[in-house]
Structure 1
Amino acid sequence: MAFPSRAAVAVEETWDLTHFYTTEQQFEEALQQVQQQATDFEAQFAGNLQDSTTIIKALEALEQLRLVMTRIGTYANLHHSVDQTNTEHQMRAGAVGTAFAKIAAQTAFLQSDLLQLPAALLDETMQQAPQYKNFLAAILREKPYTLHPEVEKALAAFSGTWNAPYALYNTTKLVDMKFPDFTVEGKDYPMSYNLFEGDWELETNTDIRRAAFDAFSAKLRDYQHTTAKTYETHVKQEKTEADLRGYDSVLDFLLFPQEVDRDMYNRQIDVIMTELAPHMRKYAKLLQRVHNLDNMTFADLKIPLDPGYEPTITVEESRQYMQDALGIMGDDYQAMLDRAFDERWIDFANNEGKSTGAFCSSPYGVHPYVLISWTSRMNEVFVLAHELGHAGHFYEAQKHQNIFDARPSLYFIEAPSTMNEMLMANHLLKNSDDARFKRWVISSIVARTYYHNFVTHLLEAAYQRKVYELIDAGKSLHAPLLNELKRAVLEEFWGDTVTLNDGAELTWMRQPHYYMGLYPYTYSAGLTISTQVSQRILREGQPAVDDWLAVLQAGGTKSPAELAKMAGVDVTTEQPLRDTIAYIGSLIDELETLTNELDNQ
């Protein structure tokens, strides 16, 4: 059956957004006040940054402005994310976007004015207000790419327009795209984005699973040209800004804020494409053998190795798993987990119009919020642990850093989340000697943690790099070309081990990450770090945990390479990546051994 409306789901399955504002009137008043706050900020400080005392006052005012904006923006976005069919949510999000674009233009002078000041004055300011040292250093780092103040102001005024392709993508995907039922042997089955990605991809009945893939792909195909044009608009905007600012390429423009060079970026993609592929092909063949498939297709890659064994799990049961597996992180971390459940930080509901997948939003000064669509599958303990990893990261960082310094480079973002998946796996393996249970846990790590981050997102990254190379070369994008690029990446990785169903090439349409800069490759980067640190924790115990907590608390005060080094990992070399790939290979070898043992019992 179809998902219920948002109004029909149980309130205890939803998150509590009254932690932002208890009434809509409070939100409206806050939105009006922050616009006046921005106007006053411009009037007081534009053209007046002549001494360190005034600069510090301006930064203090900006800090307060951003705190209020974060609260307002997150409130609107979280409402919108749980029901994108709701016109009230759409209007609220639109009003915030318009207001924030104006505020961005009003505050754009700050960076330009600061960059015109003598370096000695900025050094003096950093010494007097060390809490703003990283913020000022980041501005100075951008100096070679900063444009005339009036140009910066104009670009900031268009910030809402720059975000339009992502909004259009989501509207197409979650509002306009309606999936009809599909039929197998005379029986009708419901279809939606969440149903396909949460259930039908994992369905063990091959006829139903493949029919679902065909039906899902057919509807995607109806929207491929609109989605391609939306995506082209987004990447061409990025290319235009990269050119305006004087970057050599759009890739360099997107890597700059990550504090990552092209070598680190390319290595993450190239080494995995070459060296992980043989291991994953071996895993695909194991799936084919266990499920007695005459042909291993792209539609079969997400099926569980032992579907008959995977138990269901309630939300309350998941809470105990979080406590048991993540308790190693200490009392404060455990208290955060309790609050997440007790205070309804998590939205578990399945309803029409809800965003697909899962995410964590961590507004400074409030607390993290987690979105997940709970289907009661046991593998969702890994999904929830992942998102609570983000929550724990920013919970710790925001206690120790100001709003400017709380968020690290995008390159590092997925390390704390995937760390929690590894801790969950370590806990489950440690507490059972049963061969079938061990196989289930290891297969969950391979099929969810590593497949999701080292295969799905990495193949997105390889495809995305090809797209940006075309854009840098002055080419245009269209659906047939994007389909061709995606299919070529899939063929390169899977070889002749996996038959690509008609529709596999359309998977570029399914991920929102392409509208978030160079995000996809960072999943494998983060998991490389967390794999190595989780192994340290197994070997060393508390000292490794203490190092990791210090990394979380550091927030964005260090580069991703420096953060990884604090945890004992050198990501400037190939070794951590190769060690992680070897570890994945060892897991797949163990799956094969356990399967052979179970088959011979």
Structure 2
Amino acid sequence: MSSTLLKRSEVSKENTWNLEDIFPSEQAWDQAFEGLKKDLKKAAGFEGKLTSAEQIKAIFELEDRLGLETERLFVYAHLHHDEDTANPTYQALLEKAKKLSVEAGEALSFITPEILSLPEAELDNLIESEELKPFRFTLTEIKREKAHVLSKAEEALLAQVGNLSQAPQNIFGMLNNADMKFPKIKDENGKEVELTHGSYIQFLENPDREVRRQAFKAVYETYSKQKNTLAATLSANINKNMFYAKARKYPSVLEMSLYSDNISVDVYNNLISTIHESLPLLHRYMKLRKKLLGVNELHMYDLFAPLVEEYKWDISFEEAKQLCAEGLKPLGDDYIKTLQEGFDNRWIDVYENEGKRTGAYSWGAYGTHPYVLLNHKDNLNSMFTLAHEMGHALHSYYSDEALPYRDAQYTIFLAEVASTTNEALLMDYLLKHADNPKQKLYLLTYYADQFRTTVFRQTMFAEFEKIVHERAEAGVSMTPQELSSIYYELNRKYHGDDMVVDKDIEMEWARIPHFYRSFYVYKYATGFSAATSFSKQILEEGQPAVDRYLGFLKSGGSDYSINILSKAGVDMSSPQPVRDAMSVFKDVIEQMEQLTK
């Protein structure tokens, strides 16, 4: 690949996705847009009339039709916009699609409140009626929410508070992204360089230890200067959560946060307690990291340092596709055939070009195949990104094939499972076929750090959130000293005696944006654990486990997330999936220890 970025018009067609599979032309998009604007007016005819199974069935069918068409219009405009964010044509198209999505939401917003206003006995009869059988899960969900829906006047008041409730997150965002300035540091050549949010992790990955130490110190000294403001901001977010939990009659903020996914508090607590019993494994990895780095003391700024001397492994996109297909063979012929269909029929937008959105994702509209955005570089990380995003894509493909529109969309709790299962299977294949010890150690290090950052670190974050909310609910003030003390002690507990837990790390709570999206990060750890458990079962049991897993992919959001996983053989209400993941982590550490004797 040339170092000069191509303009979008210069990118070869086979490396771009084919959006004509959604709409054959912009003219067709415009026609669908105008048609949908007219159809939205039909919804008003149902308002105030949702009292019979017949009327409710009709409005749900209209809601599905309108929702699907809105999704197609929005996805087409958004994907075109992401190809070249500077293109004014697609900027305008996306704005039109966004406005229409809001209009669609408003036009259909009366449905849930009207159904909830029905007497309970009447709602129970509707749930059991044969006519509404395709919508039974939707109605059951609406009924489940009823205990926490307030009167019309109270709901209107809470809606007005909505903008105020965003204040803590918005203030943190402005302070963190716009106002926070870090000092310059010296690189390995003694040259002064800019330290930014974006470059911080790169500095922590620098082989030069002094560069790592400087970056670490500079970041946390900067946050420490703002500790009172940042503590007040996080405390305001906790108070906001407590206000909503009390107003909506939840026993605690944690229970409120888990309620929408119908996840028991036991799942959250199980994750933390099972990781606690597995902390000796993380301590063992810290000891190994210390040995491989050849240092007398392992510091917090050594956690991202490379353990294998720069191992160069160029992997072209063609090779990445071949290795993914080989690695995912345990999932069976049908899965590989569908994967190949995606590779061969322009589901993927492969390389970076001028103006293209950064990162990677999988997305699409029901009724057409999924799409994957990549910014492929010829390296190991990009190959795992391909496997990851195709996991999302095939999860969506199988769900859409098996289920009606309403039931096909899976929850965030499930979203990372299929993508991470693909990564685990690919890693297993690469390790089995590594052709030299250095390559194998490089892969094992990559995998071990995924366990450290996605399971242990995210669980530590989840435990921090639980402690600070429980203390605040008990009346304890969340001062900077309180927050820092809790955070520092958790780091000592998680990293063990072979790690020097530098005092500076006590301010890390101040830079984690996810703490403003409360009780969310645990899903990274549960998703990774569920995926590791699935891959372990697939590799050890073969076809019976594959059949269960494909059943999971075809379940979409047709049931509660915990039930969908349980039916497929992963019971997240028990500690077993996390223990399965830990047994794989243990095996990774043992292989690393063998290679470095």
1:84·1:175 contact (CA, 8 Å) conserved in 2?
A: no
Q: Which position in structure 2 is the counterpart of 1:186? A: 190
Please point out which of 400, 407, 410 is paired with 2:409.
Answer: 407
Matched, 1:437 2:450: no
Report the CA distance shift for 1:76/1:58 in structure 2 as closer, same or farther (over 3 A): same
Matched, 1:591 2:595: no
Code of the residue aligned with 1:426 in structure 2: it is D
Q: Which position in structure 1 is the counterpart of 2:470? A: 469
| More displaced 10-residue stretch of structure 1: 93-102 or 319-328 | 93-102
Please point out which of 127, 147, 170 is paired with 1:123.
Answer: 127
| More displaced 10-residue stretch of structure 1: 289-298 or 328-337 | 328-337
Matched, 1:532 2:533: yes
Distance 1:254 1:369 in 2: 31
Report the CA distance shift for 1:436/1:495 in structure 2 as closer, same or farther (over 3 A): same
- The CA deviation string for residues 165-213 of structure 1, in whole angstroms up to 9 with x for no partner, is 667766766667677764224234565544444x433332323333344
Code of the residue aligned with 1:112 in structure 2: it is P
Report the CA distance shift for 1:86/1:193 in structure 2 as closer, same or farther (over 3 A): farther
2:268·2:522 contact (CA, 8 Å) conserved in 1?
A: yes
In the TM superposition, residue 459 of structure 1 has moved relative to its aligned partner by 1.8
- The CA deviation string for residues 322-353 of structure 1, in whole angstroms up to 9 with x for no partner, is 22212333455445544655636356549899
Report the CA distance shift for 1:359/1:8 in structure 2 as closer, same or farther (over 3 A): closer
Distance 1:520 1:87 in 2: 36
2:413·2:561 contact (CA, 8 Å) conserved in 1?
A: yes
Q: Which position in structure 2 is the counterpart of 1:550? A: 551
Report the CA distance shift for 1:47/1:193 in structure 2 as closer, same or farther (over 3 A): same
In the TM superposition, residue 583 of structure 1 has moved relative to its aligned partner by 3.2
Matched, 1:66 2:70: no
Please point out which of 395, 420, 436 is paired with 2:422.
Answer: 420
In the TM superposition, residue 54 of structure 1 has moved relative to its aligned partner by 1.2
Distance 2:76 2:472 in 1: 35
| More displaced 10-residue stretch of structure 1: 247-256 or 152-161 | 152-161
- The CA deviation string for residues 99-120 of structure 1, in whole angstroms up to 9 with x for no partner, is 7566545533211221333135
In the TM superposition, residue 266 of structure 1 has moved relative to its aligned partner by 0.8
In the TM superposition, residue 541 of structure 1 has moved relative to its aligned partner by 1.8
Distance 1:334 1:164 in 2: 47
Code of the residue aligned with 1:418 in structure 2: it is T
Distance 2:354 2:193 in 1: 17
Code of the residue aligned with 1:186 in structure 2: it is G
| More displaced 10-residue stretch of structure 1: 89-98 or 114-123 | 89-98
In the TM superposition, residue 284 of structure 1 has moved relative to its aligned partner by 1.5
Q: Which position in structure 2 is the counterpart of 1:313? A: 315
Unaligned runs of 5+ in 1: 597-601
Report the CA distance shift for 1:375/1:452 in structure 2 as closer, same or farther (over 3 A): farther
| Secondary structure, counterpart of 2:186 in structure 1 | strand
In the TM superposition, residue 493 of structure 1 has moved relative to its aligned partner by 0.9
Matched, 1:114 2:108: no
Please point out which of 270, 280, 283 is paired with 2:282.
Answer: 280
In the TM superposition, residue 532 of structure 1 has moved relative to its aligned partner by 2.3
Code of the residue aligned with 1:461 in structure 2: it is A
Distance 2:163 2:26 in 1: 23
For the aligned residue pairs, the C-alpha RMSD in angstroms reads 4.3
2:270·2:573 contact (CA, 8 Å) conserved in 1?
A: no
2:224·2:507 contact (CA, 8 Å) conserved in 1?
A: yes
Please point out which of 236, 248, 270 is paired with 1:267.
Answer: 270
| More displaced 10-residue stretch of structure 1: 44-53 or 328-337 | 328-337
Please point out which of 196, 200, 205 is paired with 1:202.
Answer: 205
2:514·2:520 contact (CA, 8 Å) conserved in 1?
A: yes
- The CA deviation string for residues 390-430 of structure 1, in whole angstroms up to 9 with x for no partner, is 22212211222233322344433332222112101111123
Report the CA distance shift for 1:389/1:230 in structure 2 as closer, same or farther (over 3 A): farther
Q: Which position in structure 2 is the counterpart of 1:248? A: 251
Identity of aligned residues (%): 29
Distance 1:32 1:276 in 2: 57
| Secondary structure, counterpart of 2:422 in structure 1 | helix
Matched, 1:570 2:564: no
Distance 2:548 2:328 in 1: 16
1:269·1:521 contact (CA, 8 Å) conserved in 2?
A: no
Please point out which of 268, 289, 292 is paired with 2:291.
Answer: 289
Matched, 1:49 2:79: no
Distance 1:437 1:530 in 2: 24
2:313·2:380 contact (CA, 8 Å) conserved in 1?
A: yes
Q: How does 1:515-530 map onto structure 2 within 5 Å? A: 515-530=516-531
2:348·2:374 contact (CA, 8 Å) conserved in 1?
A: no
- The CA deviation string for residues 232-276 of structure 1, in whole angstroms up to 9 with x for no partner, is 55554443332222111111111112222111111101221x222
1:348·1:374 contact (CA, 8 Å) conserved in 2?
A: yes
Q: How does 1:346-385 map onto structure 2 within 5 Å? A: 346=349, 349=352, 359-370=361-372, 376-385=378-387
Matched, 1:258 2:258: no
Q: Which position in structure 2 is the counterpart of 1:599? A: none
| Secondary structure, counterpart of 1:573 in structure 2 | coil
Code of the residue aligned with 2:456 in structure 1: it is V
Report the CA distance shift for 1:4/1:100 in structure 2 as closer, same or farther (over 3 A): farther
| Secondary structure, counterpart of 2:328 in structure 1 | helix
Matched, 1:486 2:487: yes
In the TM superposition, residue 454 of structure 1 has moved relative to its aligned partner by 0.9
In the TM superposition, residue 369 of structure 1 has moved relative to its aligned partner by 4.7
| Secondary structure, counterpart of 1:263 in structure 2 | helix
1:105·1:154 contact (CA, 8 Å) conserved in 2?
A: no
1:415·1:527 contact (CA, 8 Å) conserved in 2?
A: yes
Distance 1:31 1:157 in 2: 31
| More displaced 10-residue stretch of structure 1: 274-283 or 77-86 | 77-86
Report the CA distance shift for 1:194/1:348 in structure 2 as closer, same or farther (over 3 A): farther
1:406·1:555 contact (CA, 8 Å) conserved in 2?
A: yes
| Secondary structure, counterpart of 1:411 in structure 2 | helix
Distance 1:401 1:158 in 2: 37
Distance 2:75 2:477 in 1: 34
Code of the residue aligned with 1:288 in structure 2: it is K
2:123·2:143 contact (CA, 8 Å) conserved in 1?
A: no
Code of the residue aligned with 1:289 in structure 2: it is K
Distance 1:516 1:72 in 2: 29
Report the CA distance shift for 1:60/1:582 in structure 2 as closer, same or farther (over 3 A): same
Distance 1:106 1:96 in 2: 15
| More displaced 10-residue stretch of structure 1: 328-337 or 296-305 | 328-337
Distance 2:581 2:387 in 1: 20
